Structure 1
Amino acid sequence: MTLPSVAPVDTNAAGALRATIDGKAKPLGALGRIETLAVQLGLIAGGAPPAYDKALLLVFAGDHGLTAEGVSAYPASVTQAMVATFLAGKASANAFARAVGADLKVVDAGVDADLPAHPDLLAQKVRRGTRNAAIESALTADEVTQALERGAAIARQAVADGYEVLALGEMGIGNTASAALIMHRLADVPLDQCVGLGAGHDAEGLARKQAAIECAAARSGATKPQEVLAQFGGLEIAMIAGAVIGAASARIPVLIDGFIVSAAALVAVALVPEVADYCVFCHRSAEQGHALMLQRLAVEPLLTLDLRLGEGTGALLALPLVRAASRLLSDVASLDDVLSGRL
């Protein structure tokens, strides 16, 4: 497997960035966690960050064979239907992207359908959905490699196209089941603390989901990131993990959405620990397990809005905070300039 290398940020520069922020025309620490975010952005940029005006949301889509076990309240066909909705500009993510001034593209990582060409669709399908992880490996090792490498290439191409920040989202019926299995194995969390309601399960549906996930977990003891992806899927999660690595290799911040995208980030960090410096965790979702996953990653998200939609909606809502933090460094006068009248 060939993934791009990622340079760690120069943490020695953090003190100078903090001093710059402390010297702004405001009381010390008055902007709270926006100041911490500004330091992170400065470290990523290696100095004054850009304004992040050119932002792209990539929504990675894929289907899961595990849905045959009833792990979702919705049929697998909803994945294809929602891809069509994104491409028609009518999904929640489209509305939020317009609201915050971000572009949106959909990546077909593994939708179980032949999708018609569209200007905003990146056709990167590895296969039509994963296999049923309850009874066999969801993916082969080669399929995992393809997904990771394609995700990294997509992110790097976006940077080559002029995007300054990437937000990552997903669409895949059944993917909270895969994310729960990834969390269980890579974060070493008991399985029952990783499994949540997903997209609208009732108590009976949750019990069915738990049984299917337990069956999948019992089938394989995989703990290495690539093996975990191969055993439990999914293609959109693997491709997102690759995109995290690709964005970090190009030294731009990557906005991490909710439970599923955080699971992909968990994979990316396990593969290339340096990517953690480039990840902005945008919100704590209402899905059980997400708060504990964020704890295992040792991160504090920017927002807590009880979101549980996915699609990158939480990442988009955090984008204005990223832009504001960058402008704190570039646009706010120093206290010395204010007091001396040098404005």
Structure 2
Amino acid sequence: MLFKTKNIYRKRGIAVGEKKWWRLREIPDLDVEMEEAARKRVRSLTKPVGSLGMLEEIFIRLAGITGETIPDIRKKAVVVMCGDHGVAQAGVSAYPQEVTGLMMENFLRGKAAVNVLAELARATVIVADLGSLLEPVPEGVIDCKVRKGTRNFLEEPAMTVSEVIQAVEVGVRLAHQLGGQGVRLIAPGEMGIGNTTSASALAAALTGKDVGALTGRGTGITDENLVRKQEVIRQALALHQPGNAMEALICVGGLEIAGMVGLYLGAAQMRMAAVMDGLISTVAAAIAVEMEPEVKSYLFASHLSAEPAHRILLNRLQLTPLITAEMRLGEASGASLAFPLFDAAVALAERMATFADLGLPEPD
């Protein structure tokens, strides 16, 4: 990890991340025998070797994750974590924070982009409020609010240690609940005005890359506001100097991002494949991998966002996106769009004829 050595939180005697409190159970190893059986199955299908490209890899990896010959991924869930950001007060977004609450209601009505795409993929959309400013929480939204928005990290840490722990635990427990209901494919998504600023700051802390190379326009801000956004991130990182991924989350993160970190951790514990969305979803996944390297084996990259930090994070995770469509919406819209590719991968492996079916030898 590329973190600064001076750490105001360590100097205060706060040890974060040493005790693995997020483990409700151990992350199981992938089923290598099932992976090998899936690899042989794919090789036996009536097609040139490797001609289905990444669809073949999807099927093989799903077999290792689920431990099933033909992975049952009929039950899919999109979990949209919501939270507001104090740093929005610094003029880093094109939209007011009221939009977070309005979009939560839009999700409930089934009228957001992620609703449309999830319906096409036969996936359930779940909305959870970890930290929006909206009161009361609308009926139909899971109310797990830790606090009403984060603090302005340009002036002080966005969250306390306790608040981050609460938010991560929400995600872990929700993943366990969904896994217990038979969900095998999950897409963590988010909604929160100001969260691309938070995600870009986290990406800079994780990678050590220049803020200017990482920070994009998010909701479509002007050139002037983009310069302001980058300067806000630089100032915040200089102020806090986080010493590890968890401390970065405390200093410049968001409650919904912490919730997604928990979703990834819990999904791996429950043998669920987790499909990342864009920048914000992926920075949460990167933090989860810093906390538990085994999580990486359960991750899939759905698409390549137009946000510049996204490509850098995907390269860091060594994951190749399935779709390149220049999207930057969030909500798990890109992940939902990719869901049918997973269905296709399983269906092809299950239904295609083999060379043996045709009385032919398998290719060398």
Please tell me the TM-score bracket, short chain as reference.
Answer: over 0.9
CA contact (8 A) 1:57 1:166 kept: yes
- What residue is the counterpart of 1:139 in the other structure? 159
**In 2, Cα distance between equivalents of 1:19 and 1:333:** 13
**In 2, Cα distance between equivalents of 1:116 and 1:267:** 28
Gap regions ≥5 residues in structure 2: 1-20
Offset from partner CA, 1:64-120 (integer Å, 9 cap, x none)? 00000011111111111111111111111111111221111111011012234423x
Offset from partner CA, 1:135-166 (integer Å, 9 cap, x none)? 10000001111111110001110111222211
Given candidates 74, 86, 105, the residue that maps to 1:65 is 86
**In 1, Cα distance between equivalents of 2:201 and 2:308:** 13
1:88 is the counterpart of 2:88: no
The 3 A distance-change label for structure 1 pair 313 and 104 is: same
**In 2, Cα distance between equivalents of 1:88 and 1:115:** 17
Gap regions ≥5 residues in structure 1: none
Letter in 1 for 2:343: R
- What residue is the counterpart of 1:165 in the other structure? 185
**In 1, Cα distance between equivalents of 2:70 and 2:91:** 46
* Most deviating of 306-315 and 17-26: 17-26
Letter in 2 for 1:306: E
- What residue is the counterpart of 1:201 in the other structure? 221
**In 1, Cα distance between equivalents of 2:348 and 2:293:** 28
1:190 is the counterpart of 2:205: no
CA contact (8 A) 1:167 1:316 kept: yes
Give the root-mean-square deviation of aligned CA atoms.
1.4
CA contact (8 A) 1:52 1:323 kept: yes
Given candidates 58, 68, 74, the residue that maps to 1:53 is 74
1:234 is the counterpart of 2:234: no
1:185-334 superposed matches below 5 A: 185-334=205-354
1:338 is the counterpart of 2:364: no
Offset from partner CA, 1:113-140 (integer Å, 9 cap, x none)? 2234423x11111110000000100000
Count matched residues: 339
**In 2, Cα distance between equivalents of 1:259 and 1:253:** 18
**In 2, Cα distance between equivalents of 1:11 and 1:198:** 40
* Most deviating of 89-98 and 265-274: 89-98
**In 2, Cα distance between equivalents of 1:146 and 1:179:** 19
1:26 is the counterpart of 2:47: yes
CA contact (8 A) 2:44 2:355 kept: yes
TM-score for the superposition, normalised by structure 1: 0.95
Q: CA deviation at 1:331?
A: 2.3
- What residue is the counterpart of 2:99 in the other structure? 78
CA contact (8 A) 1:3 1:149 kept: no
**In 1, Cα distance between equivalents of 2:189 and 2:77:** 11
Letter in 2 for 1:130: T
Q: CA deviation at 1:290?
A: 0.9
CA contact (8 A) 2:63 2:71 kept: no
Detail structure 1 runs of 4+ shifted over 4 Å in the superposition.
Answer: none
Letter in 1 for 2:126: K
**In 2, Cα distance between equivalents of 1:11 and 1:274:** 14
